[in-house]
Amino acid sequence: MGILPRFEGGKVRKDADQPQISVATVAQQAVQRLELPNPVIRTSPREDFVQVVHVPTWLWVEHSTWGPVTASVSVEGVTVTATARPRKAVWSMGEGGQVVCVGPGTPYSDAYDPKASSPDCGYTYRRASVSSPGGAFTVSVQVTWDVEWHGGGQAGVVPGLVMTAQRQLVVDEVQAVVTR
């Protein structure tokens, strides 16, 4: 029968001759092993179409990049599992505006009125991007992840890991002409 580990002051000890490993050290390794996905920006109108001033733009990150991510590490008989969950997406819209969304956003579909605003994550541009470098606004999103870990008889939280993405969006004005 092997020697069973025991806890002493937050460290696991097998016997007096072996070095001690702290649970916090193993937890740090588990957090570092997490492979958080880069967010993929989606908009409606689509990113490759022109956005229009005073028309709602729907924002969302690809749902495959929004969900729990888990990693485990075992060192000297101590196993720690870390699980990261996205908490919010902060969008910088390129013209000075910012949007904070508590979820990934709702993908636009034909089930919605084309003039409707997103139910949870959208923005309406107030000016065209024609005078911006390249004639487009740089839109970025920062997804903030919080990590909970547990193992070795302990648990903890690592808040605020951030993954980012950006892309260019062209925003134009539509001029109306009234004729008889």
- Residue ranges per structural domain of the chain: 36-69+82-172
Place of tokens 């993954």: 163
Instruction: List the structure tokens of 106.
Output: 């709702």
Residues 35, 2: contact at Cβ < 8 Å? no
SS3 at position 25: helix
pLDDT surpasses 70 at 29: yes
Q: Which CATH number fits domain 36-69+82-172: 3.90.550.10, 3.40.50.1820, 3.40.640.10, 2.60.40.10?
A: 2.60.40.10
Q: Which residues contact 176 (CB under 8 A, 6 or more apart)?
A: none
> In b/e form, how buried is each residue of 73-108, taking b as 16+ CB within 10 angstroms?
bebeebebebbbebeebebbbbbeeebebeebbbeb
- Tell me: pLDDT of 155 over 90: yes
45/123 Cα distance (integer angstroms): 12
Reading phi first (left if > 0) and then psi (alpha if -120 to 50, else beta), residue 66 is in: beta
Measured distance CA(143)–CA(163) in Å, rounded? 5
Per-residue pLDDT tens for 47-97? Answer: 778 889 999 999 999 999 999 999 999 999 999 999 999 999 999 999 999
Give pLDDT, residue 70: 98
Percent of the chain with pLDDT over 90: 76
Query: Is the confidence at residue 1, as pLDDT, over 70?
Result: no
pLDDT, average across residues 91-110: 95
Helices (H) and strands (E) in the chain, counts: 1, 13
Tokens of 175: 């001029």
